A and B are shown apart, each in its own frame.
Chain A
Amino acid sequence: MGRVDTDRVHVLGIRHHGPGSARAVGAALADLRPDAVLIEGPPEADALTGLVSELEPPVALLAYVPGEPARSVFWPFAAFSPEWVALRYAAENSVAIRFCDLPAAVTLAERGQAAAAGPEEAADGREQTRIDPLGVLAEAAGYDDPERWWDDAVEQRGQAEPGAPSPFPAIAEAMAAVRAELAPHPVDGREARREAHMRRILRAALRAGHERIAVVCGAWHAPALLDHPRVADDDALLRGLPKAKAALTWVPWTHGRLAAASGYRAGVRSPGWYHHLFTVPDRPVERWLAEAARRLRAEDQPVSSAHVIEAVRLCESLAGLRGRPLAGLAELAEATSAVLCEGSELRAGLVHDSMAVGERLGSVPGSAPTVPLQSDLSARQRRLRMKPAASPRDLDIDLRDDTGRQRSALLHQLRLIGVEWGVPRQDSTRSRGTFREAWTLVWTPELDLALIEASTWGTSVPAAAAARARDLAAAAGLPRLTLLTEECLKADLAEAVGDVLAAMTARAAEDADIEHLMAALPPLARSARYGDVRRLDSASLRDVAVGLLARVCAGIGPALSGLGDEAAARMVTRVDGVQAAAVLLGGDAEQEWLDALAAAAVREDVPGRVCGRAHRILHDTGRLDGAALADRLGRATSRATSPDRAAAWIEGFLSGSGLLLVHDTALLSLIDRWLARLAPEAFTTVLPLLRRTFGAFAAAERRAIGEQVRRPGRGAASAEWATDDIDTGRAAAAVATAAAAMGIAAGNGGGN
Chain B
Amino acid sequence: MSVSAPVSALRPHAEQSYADELAALAKADDRPRPPGWKLSPWAVTRYILGTTLDNGTVIAPKYIGSRRIVEVAVATLATDRALLLLGVPGTAKTRLSEHLAAAVAGDSTLLVQGTAGTAEEAIRYGWNYARLLAEGPSADALVPSPVMTAMAEGRLARVEELTRIPSDVQDALITVLSEKTLPVPELGTEVQAQRGFNLIATANDRDRGVNDLSSALRRRFNTVVLPVPRTADDEVEIVTRRVAELGRSLDLPEVPTSMAEIRRIVTVFRELREGTTVDGRSKVKSPSGTMSTAEAISVLTNGIALAAHFGDGTLRPADVAAGVHGAVVQDPVSDGVVWREYLETVVREREGWDDFYRACREVSR
Chain A interface residues toward B at CB < 8 A: 302, 304, 306-307, 310, 313-314, 317-318, 320-322, 330, 334, 337-339, 342-345, 509
Contacts and interface: CB of A to CB of B under 8 A. Distances in A.
A313 B78 CA distance: 10
- Give the one of B42, B215, B223 with max A CB within 10 A: B223
9 nearest A-B residue pairs (beta carbon): A343-B223, A318-B75, A317-B75, A338-B222, A343-B225, A321-B41, A334-B72, A317-B78, A342-B223
Contacts of A344: 225
Contact of A343 (B74, B75, B86): B86
Given A304-B219, A307-B219, A509-B283, A338 B76 contact: yes
B74 A321 contact: yes
B45 A330 contact: no
Nearest to A343: B223
B309 interface: no
Given A314-B81, A317-B75, A338 B224 contact: yes
B93 to A, nearest CB: 12
A345 B78 CA distance: 22
Nearest to B276: A509
A310 B221 CA distance: 10
Nearest to B76: A314
A318 B72 contact: yes
B84 interface: yes
Contact of A321 (B45, B221, B283): B45
A571 to B, nearest CB: 26
Contacts of B222: 310, 314, 338-339
A696 to B, nearest CB: 42
B68 interface: yes
Contact of B225 (A304, A322, A345): A345
A318 B219 CA distance: 19
B81 A313 contact: yes
Contact of B79 (A313, A322, A345): A313
Chain A, interface SS category: helix
B171 interface: no
A509 to B, nearest CB: 7
A502 to B, nearest CB: 13
Contacts of B78: 317, 320-321
Contacts of A345: 225
Contact of A314 (B75, B215, B283): B75
Interface string B205-240: 000000000010011011111000000000000000
Contacts of B81: 310, 313-314, 339
7 contacts: A310-B79, A321-B75, A322-B71, A338-B72, A339-B223, A343-B86, A344-B225
A322 B75 CA distance: 10
A201 to B, nearest CB: 45
Contacts of B84: 343
A419 B277 CA distance: 44
A448 B45 CA distance: 58
B205 to A, nearest CB: 8
Given A313-B79, A338-B76, A343-B225, 8 more contacts: A310-B222, A313-B81, A317-B41, A317-B78, A318-B75, A338-B72, A338-B224, A343-B86
B71 A338 contact: no
Interface in B89-127: none
Contacts of A313: 79, 81
A135 B218 CA distance: 42
Contacts of A317: 41, 75-76, 78-79
Contacts of A314: 72, 75-76, 79, 81, 222
A330 B71 CA distance: 11
Contact of A334 (B68, B79, B221): B68
Contacts of A310: 79, 81, 222
A344 B42 CA distance: 26
A338 B79 contact: no
Interface in B110-160: none
A341 to B, nearest CB: 8
Interface in B315-337: none
Contacts of A330: 68
